[in-house]
Amino acid sequence: MNSRDFQSRLARRARRAGLALPAQLSEQLEAYYRLLAIWNAKINLTGLKLADAPPEAVDRLLIEPVVAAKHVPVGTNRMLDIGTGGGSPAIPLALASACSGLSMVESKTRKSVFLREVVRTLGLSGADVITARFEELLARPDLHEAFDMVSVRAVRVESRLLVTLQAFVRPGGVVLLFRGPGTSGQSETVTPPLAWQATYPLIESLRSRLVVLTKRQEVRTVPRGTVPT
């Protein structure tokens, strides 16, 4: 499929989702998709069929994260993506939300090599790849509460995972959970300091949704008769 045909299909899928893609974003999404297709023939980055850009692959890998970007809070600069794998939703989400700092956490070395190639090819100067299990990042104080947003696409999200994820989110920041069919409303077990904010539909044909959690700001109470410092 040549670039003109790809762009035409991408635009059609975007319109179905109520989007109008800027030209620069469309070009970046195509560059990412083509690189993913080349590398996926060598290493398993996604189980989706990528040849000729079938609608399901375009929707899942490109359009879904761009729809989610509409729900990224204004002022979000630093983003952490957990278990990035083949780069979606992290890379399209960061591109569409104009996030200036993206850290991708991937435990498998070969996938990390691919992600670094994407960063280089797309010229993502504010992006980096961390080759580690995300639990290992707890030993890095410099990452604690260092991000405005944490994103994860996982089949199952447990409360223990959310407790770990919130450690990297600044107070007032958000956790984005990309969820598949069967998820609606407040579907996660959320404990403080996280709180459920909203659940948004993403792609109707995929029955996918975005669960947004917020990390509450700590409220300091001042004893009566004392002066705050």
CATH number of the domain to which 189 belongs:
3.40.50.150
> Exposed, middle or buried by CB within 10 Å (0-12, 13-18, 19+), for 165?
buried
| Helix-then-strand count for the chain, H and E | 7, 7
Q: Is residue 225 part of a domain?
A: no
Report if residue 221 sits inside a domain: no
What's the confidence (pLDDT) of residue 223?
56
- The number of domains in the chain is 1
Would 160 be classed as within a structural domain? yes
Q: What's the whole-number average pLDDT of the chain? A: 91
More confident: 151 or 186? 151
Residue 69 neighbours by CB distance under 10 Å = 22
- The Cα–Cα gap between 202 and 96 comes to 15
The one-letter amino acid code at 202 reads: L
Question: Per the domain annotation, does 154 fall within a domain?
Answer: yes
Q: pLDDT higher for 143 or 184?
A: 143
Residue 220 pLDDT > 60, yes or no? no
In a domain, 202, yes or no: yes
Residue 191 binned pLDDT confidence (cut-offs 50, 70, 90): confident
Least confident of 32-46, 175-189, 205-219: 175-189
| Whether the Cβ atoms of residue 78 and residue 49 lie closer than 8 Å to each other | no
Q: What is the span of the domain harbouring residue 52?
A: 3-215
Quick check: 93 pLDDT over 90?
Answer: yes
Structural domain contains residue 224: no
Question: Comparing C-alpha atoms, which of 149, 193, 196 is closest to residue 168?
Answer: 149
Within 13 Å, how many C-alpha atoms sit on residue 57's CB side? 21
Confirm whether 228 is domain-assigned: no
Residue from 109, 46, 214, 21 nearest 7 by CA: 21
Tell me, what's the pLDDT at 156? Answer: 72
Q: Are strands 194-201 and 209-215 parallel, antiparallel or unpaired?
A: antiparallel
Rounded to an integer, the average pLDDT of 36-55 is 95
pLDDT of residue 1: 86
Has residue 96 been placed in a domain? Answer: yes
The residue-averaged pLDDT of 184-194 equals 70
